[in-house]
Copies of this chain bind each other. A is one copy, B any other.
Amino acid sequence: MRPEGAPRPSCTTDGKSELHTQLQQLAKAAGLAAAVRINKSGCLDQCEHGPTVVIYPEAVWYGNVKPEDAVEIVNEHLLGGRPVERLRIADTCLNAKSCPHRS
């Protein structure tokens, strides 16, 4: 892991498994098991945005996602079709050399 102060700190493994589990359980409970796959990914190269979730096919990226955000992602985005704006990584921040990153 790269240290927190690094230019591109590791997106931290804290809570990532819990986030995955939360998304999986909530999606299943919402009846989405056959429609949505909650998958792990390799490195998404968004280190500075912390734990990252990307939803395809709509290509909506979320950054600094906490396990407790899972319920909003499932209810609002997966069920409701409304991306969760407060968690979104702006398109201009994706793969950008610099941008006003949310903390």
A binding-site residues for B, Cβ under 8 Å: 34, 37, 39-45, 56-59, 95
Q: Least Cβ distance of A44 to chain B in Å?
A: 7
Whether the Cβ atoms of A40 and B41 lie closer than 8 Å is: yes
Q: Least Cβ distance of A46 to chain B in Å?
A: 10
Chain A interface helix/strand/loop/mixed = loop
Further contacts, 9 of them, CB under 8 A, given A39-B42, A40-B42, A41-B42: A34-B95, A37-B45, A39-B41, A39-B43, A40-B41, A41-B41, A56-B57, A56-B59, A57-B58
Considering only CB atoms, which chain B residue lies closest to A20 in the complex?
B42
Considering only CB atoms, which chain B residue lies closest to A37 in the complex?
B45
